[in-house]
A and B are shown apart, each in its own frame.
Chain A
Amino acid sequence: MTGAIVAGIGATEFSKDSGRSTMQLAAEASRAAIVDAGLTPADIDGVVTFTVDGNDELQLMRNLGVEQITWWSRTPGGGVGACATVQHAVAAVTSGQADAVLVYRAFNERSQYRFGQPHTRPMGAVPLDWYHTFGIDTPAKMYALWFRRYMHAYGATNEDFGRYTVSARRYAATNPKAWFHDRPITLEDHQASRWIVEPVLRLYDCCQESDGAVALVVTRAERSGDVDQPVAILAAADAHQRDASITANYYHDDLATYPEAAACARLLFARAGLSPADVDVAEIYENFSPLVFLVLEAYGFCGPGEAPAFIADGNLDPGGALPTNTHGGLLGEAYIHGINSIQEGVRQVRGAAVNQVPTVERVLVSSLNSGLVLGRV
């Protein structure tokens, strides 16, 4: 137990063209989260978002009517830092630096800046010209060069990856907020979708590009009595290791593994006093379907190279041993940079998800190198 709770969640609709500014999206989701928590803007005194978020904290305060903040921070690495935002918020409220922290992420990632389009030049602070000049110009290509080693090491196939997508799209099909609501696919549909990065990723292995916003309010566990539906943050962790890279993770000894996720898992389970068997539901960030396989193995839900069989056996599906991405994931619901998966984890603990898993005590939320364990207060 971290001593902190998620007090409220809020979101806009998820679309391909929101028709409004990202500041408006941020304000709508944030206000909804504050109202959901039973608080007022005057109760908020901290804000956390992603370094790549385009919305200024002070402008958001002005929109919301937040009077004063005493904590602000941002997490690097895009989706790598999705769960780390909550870790920051936990640190703020449990150390007394803030009392109630708003976490937000808002973008028009389909109608304005599309991550998935080829970059015309190296991006970010990393020396991407070691990669871009050789033709690695999209996230799909950056990650595929890592994932291919997993396929070679264990004989995993693109069809194996497709079985994950079919599962995610099944959940999305019954989630009215999902872009792919009412549109399940078969493995044949997956295999008929075009190659994006042959021989690793087809179209249906790739997350969406979405417009939208999600916000959370984190406060001290002592305030649980003031909150309608508090959800305990049992553990929060983030792990980055030597020779790692966000966009070119090609230098660890064994590329068929995910050492950062394994390190995060060890921290989470140790801090929560839990083991993989204690997890009832998992929400796993998947910019691309193979990531789920690497994360399942890194967290010890199955052994190295066993994820294809683990998924084929239906473990991630409704009624399975580890229902996973119950909102449809970033492939099926929307790509709100992983924050929507935290929201789904909160809903599962509350018992308020559209694809509710019976008797949920603990939910793992994994976003690449960072993660959370959520549970009942």
Chain B
Amino acid sequence: MTRPGEPMSDARRAAPDDAFFWDAAADDRLVIQRCADCGRLRHPPAPMCGHCGSLSWDTAPSAGRGRITSWMYSLHPNRPDDEPRIVILVQLDEGVRLVSNLVDPPDDGPYDERPVVVEFRDDRGTRTPFFRVDDGVPS
């Protein structure tokens, strides 16, 4: 049992439908669940393909690039003393959407439709995929 506001990495690793994502993240890899039969990608993960009914799945590597579909500032997220975050909804180039945070913003926004690239960082004990604005310069 995690304390309120503490990392939930153990819980995530224990969730049978989700563990693969965080296991890959621990190796700085962004992966997307893929139906092994019809090949469709899906996120958030789910045990059954809603298109063909298959229970077989593997993962596809994501290049970690996409655009910001939506965003907002989260003040004191999870705990009163936590630093603000910029929450983003990323449309990955592979076609699925993912919620994350924008790190090291180059300006004060607005951030709609900005190109972004994944950047893995440690967050409260869990290797986590964040995104920064994609300026074409390797980090």
Contacts and interface: CB of A to CB of B under 8 A. Distances in A.
B97 A135 contact: no
A135 B71 CA distance: 12
B85 A250 contact: no
Contacts of B4: 120-121
A152 B72 CA distance: 12
A137 interface: yes
A197 B99 contact: no
A254 B112 CA distance: 14
Contacts of A145: 70-72, 87, 89, 99
A195 B76 CA distance: 13
Secondary structure at the A interface, as helix, strand, loop or mixed, is: loop
Which of B8, B77, B82, B112 has the most C-beta atoms of chain A within 10 angstroms of its own C-beta? B77
A81 to B, nearest CB: 23
Nearest to B109: A199
A19 interface: no
A251 B46 CA distance: 14
A255 B11 contact: no
A240 interface: no
Contact of A127 (B44, B69, B85, B113): B44
Interface in B63-107: 69-80, 82, 85, 87, 89, 97, 99-101
B89 A250 contact: yes
Which of A133, A145, A146 has the most C-beta atoms of chain B within 10 angstroms of its own C-beta? A133
Which of A130, A146, A198 has the most C-beta atoms of chain B within 10 angstroms of its own C-beta? A130
B8 A255 contact: no
A111 to B, nearest CB: 21
Contacts of B138: none
Interface residues on A, range: 20 to 34
Interface string A123-156: 0000101111111110001001110110010000
Contacts of B71: 145, 148
Nearest to B124: A133
A117 to B, nearest CB: 11
Contacts of B82: 135
B47 to A, nearest CB: 12
Interface string A92-136: 000000000000000000000000001011100001011111111
Given A135-B77, A135-B85, A145-B87, A255 B69 contact: yes
A129 B72 contact: no
B139 interface: no
Contacts of B18: 127, 129
A289 to B, nearest CB: 15
Which of B72, B87, B110 has the most C-beta atoms of chain A within 10 angstroms of its own C-beta? B72
A141 B72 contact: yes
Interface in B101-128: 101, 109-110, 112-113, 123, 126, 128
B15 to A, nearest CB: 7
Given A127-B15, A129-B12, A134-B85, A120 B72 contact: no
A161 to B, nearest CB: 14
Which of B12, B99, B128 has the most C-beta atoms of chain A within 10 angstroms of its own C-beta? B99
Given A127-B44, A137-B77, A242-B50, A198 B97 contact: no
Contacts of B70: 145-146, 148-149, 152, 250, 255
Given A118-B78, A120-B5, A136 B87 contact: yes
Contacts of A232: none
B95 to A, nearest CB: 11
B104 to A, nearest CB: 16
Given A120-B5, A134-B74, A141-B74, 14 more contacts: A118-B78, A118-B80, A129-B8, A129-B18, A130-B44, A133-B123, A134-B87, A135-B82, A135-B87, A137-B74, A148-B72, A195-B75, A198-B75, A199-B72
Interface of A: 118, 120-122, 127, 129-137, 141, 144-146, 148-149, 152, 195, 197-200, 242, 248, 250-251, 255
18 contacts: A118-B78, A122-B8, A127-B44, A129-B11, A129-B12, A130-B44, A132-B78, A134-B85, A134-B100, A137-B78, A145-B89, A145-B99, A148-B112, A152-B110, A198-B73, A199-B72, A200-B72, A242-B50
Interface of B: 2, 4-5, 8, 11-12, 15, 17-18, 44, 50, 69-80, 82, 85, 87, 89, 97, 99-101, 109-110, 112-113, 123, 126, 128
When A and B form their complex, which 10 residue pairs have the shortest distance between CB atoms, in order from nearest?
A135-B77, A120-B4, A135-B74, A135-B85, A152-B112, A148-B70, A149-B70, A144-B72, A198-B73, A130-B44
